[in-house]
Structure 1
Amino acid sequence: MSKRVVTLAHYYTQPEIQQMADKVGDSLELSLYAKEAQADTIVFAGVRFMAETAKILNPQAEVILPDAGSTCSLVTQTDVAALKVWRESYPDHVHVSYINSSAEHKALSDWIVTSRNVDDIIAYLYEQGKKVIFSPDRNMGAYLNYQYGYDMPLWSAVCEVHDKFNEAALNEAFNAALGEKYLIAHPESPLPVLKKADYVGSTSGMLNWVKQFKGGSNAVIFVATEDGILYNMSLARPDLDLRQAPIYAGCQCNSCPYMKLNTVEAVKRAQQGEGTRIDYLTPEQMDAARIPIERMLEFSQRYYA
């Protein structure tokens, strides 16, 4: 009996990688798909925390990351021992963690969120009278505090890709562009950038915004996120002038170096069983991390069905 191999790819991977995948999506979509895939082997063309999440949700499956170096700055900037001390200093708070975090980090969390459901989940917790601490993304937490008037204590890590977007470069690009100008941005971007945005949301949310755009034919849409999603946006709306937001004057060149380690050759090898196996998590670690992930998935299935 042949094994069922499922290949998952994040929107930030190269177009050639996405074309090799059984499912392309953002973190939430891939988490849900991985849970229901019933695969013997999951090849995860993304970064390590995504592959760990797939393993946590599918402990019976073999999960392979094409390149061992595919990490995330939100993970590398977070010392888990220090995080544990920080969490314990807020004993009466709910610890909400962004999915861009290690398995050990998730195990110290009460809820996991993605950029698509973070607004709704934190609003739900506040409606329940809870107090919240948020980790690891400082920029995302700062935006939530600003947008909704929360006072969440924040961990201090950033996505090295999104943190490069800046207001001065955007102002210069806006001034140089002709016609209607729009900005859509991922909430991992710095707060001054997010304050200028016409839409702030997840990768899938931004893609849907572009698909549904009904502005003028002379519109220029700047996109403040990793450049991989521009491929999907251009496929959906080839009629639009889509530009990655600049990270400094004149530069539209912001890629995640970790995502780009997923090459065609590496993914092919992973599909043949080579690569980094996510086999180092203990059952206790996976059980602890699964609780807040399942809490998120149940919320998402209930509210977004």
Structure 2
Amino acid sequence: MTVLDRTGARPGETSSVLASRIVDGPGGYAGVVGDAQWAAEVRRLAKLRNATLLAHNYQLPAIQDVADHVGDSLALSRIAAEAPEDTIVFCGVHFMAETAKILAPTKTVLIPDQRAGCSLADSITAEQLQAWKDEFPDAVVVSYVNTTAAVKALTDICCTSSNAVEVVASIPEDRTVLFCPDQFLGAHVRRVTGRKNLHIWAGECHVHAGINGDELAEQARTHPDAELFVHPECGCATSALYLAGEGAVPEDRVKILSTGGMLDAARETNARQVLVATEVGMLHQLRRAAPDVDFLAVNDRASCGYMKMITPAALLRCLVEGADEVHVDLETATLAQASVQRMIEIGQPGGGE
């Protein structure tokens, strides 16, 4: 691999040695260990590039620990817009880096591996959304922030998992609502609002959809004193509410929460154990927030391969080469920004997805 230092400074020996180990394999860039030497070099290169490092809650622990800011995608994008640095390095999946570019159009936005996609964002295309809109020309489109810039551009109001109910409730009751792309979050919104004219796209995050109700019920049975933190994207969210309704789990122990909501609840819980139904990367931040609580994954195989493509090797390559830059055309960005801004005007979105 030929390494080019585009920071304007000659690569130091550490960068050259580390970068020479990078290999591009089937799961992304590998060959570099996220140790203290790597972390020091990442921070040095970020400073040279005048870059701020953002990491999503589902990233590898080493990536989270080296980042300047860790959080959900929308909160990080808003940090990107306000950060004094010229360059944003977004350690997450591609739609998240797009959102950062939408909110910070004059800044350089890099993602360590542009191949890091998202099964949920990919579950609806702009063409599919336009066809759906054509079927319901008077409908209001509400799209989860976990969508591409092109889909956001065709959206009336974006939402996060923490404010989806509030966003839909703000729409006059006589207006039809098209909710996309997550069917489980949509079902949660319909359940809470009781809205009959809410049409839901049949999309899903493959990781969250794979956390099923049987697993949750078994974990709740074997950990009878544990609280349940369940992300509304999960296929088991309905099962969690059913367990509470049937008395199998006390109702006050079942919490349907966004990733940001989980962190808030972790800091406040009096439980000794918490069962967590979301991508396993979230456990790192939860354990940091409440080290005395035993956080257990409902499904310890719920790991997003796309998120984990942002490896130590990928981040090092990104900072050495200035790759991969994210672009959103001006018209798309302007329309997409309007749909995000309408959401923010309805209410501060808090702990995003």
Provide the residue aligned with 1:278 in structure 2: 326
1:293 lines up with 2:340 in the alignment = yes
Provide the residue aligned with 1:249 in structure 2: none
1:207 lines up with 2:266 in the alignment = no
1:158 lines up with 2:204 in the alignment = yes
Provide the residue aligned with 2:312 in structure 1: 264
Question: CA, structure 1 residues 164+131, in 2 after alignment: closer, same or farther (shift >3 Å)?
Answer: same
Query: Which amino acid letter does the alignment assign opposite residue 65 of structure 1?
Result: I
Work out the CA distance in 2 between the residues paired with 1:24 and 1:232: 9
Question: CA, structure 1 residues 273+117, in 2 after alignment: closer, same or farther (shift >3 Å)?
Answer: farther
**What is the 5 A alignment of 1:94-133?**
94-126=140-172, 130-133=175-178
Q: Mark the structure with the bigger radius of gyration.
A: 2
Give a deviation string over 1:186-224, Cα, whole Å, max 9, x none. 110124334247111210101111110023xxx431100
Match of 2:137, SS state, is coil
1:245 lines up with 2:291 in the alignment = no
Match of 2:274, SS state, is strand
Residues paired across the two proteins, number: 293
1:35 lines up with 2:91 in the alignment = no
1:224 lines up with 2:277 in the alignment = yes
Work out the CA distance in 2 between the residues paired with 1:6 and 1:63: 10
Q: Give unpaired runs (5+ residues) of structure 1.
A: 247-251
Work out the CA distance in 2 between the residues paired with 1:83 and 1:159: 18
* Structure 1 residue ranges, 4+ long, deviating more than 6 angstroms after superposition: none
Which stretch of structure 1 is more off in the superposition, 75-84 or 192-201?
A: 192-201
Deviation, structure 1 residue 302: 9.3
TM-score by length of 2: 0.78
Deviation, structure 1 residue 148: 2.1
Work out the CA distance in 2 between the residues paired with 1:160 and 1:123: 28
Provide the residue aligned with 1:236 in structure 2: 289
Query: Which amino acid letter does the alignment assign opposite residue 131 of structure 1?
Result: T
Give a deviation string over 1:105-153, Cα, whole Å, max 9, x none. 00110011111221222222247x5432100111100111122212210
Which stretch of structure 1 is more off in the superposition, 286-295 or 102-111?
A: 286-295
Q: Which one of 170, 187, 192 corresponds to residue 147 of structure 1?
A: 192
2:78 and 2:100 in contact (8 A); partners too: no
Work out the CA distance in 2 between the residues paired with 1:202 and 1:43: 23
TM-score by length of 1: 0.90
Work out the CA distance in 2 between the residues paired with 1:105 and 1:118: 17
2:160 and 2:349 in contact (8 A); partners too: no
Provide the residue aligned with 1:186 in structure 2: 231
Query: Which amino acid letter does the alignment assign opposite residue 220 of structure 2?
Result: F
Give a deviation string over 1:137-177, Cα, whole Å, max 9, x none. 11100111122212210111100110011111222222223
Work out the CA distance in 2 between the residues paired with 1:20 and 1:276: 19
Q: Which one of 105, 121, 130 corresponds to residue 75 of structure 1?
A: 121
Q: Give unpaired runs (5+ residues) of structure 2.
A: 1-7, 9-47, 245-253
Deviation, structure 1 residue 241: 1.9
Query: Which amino acid letter does the alignment assign opposite residue 182 of structure 1?
Result: E
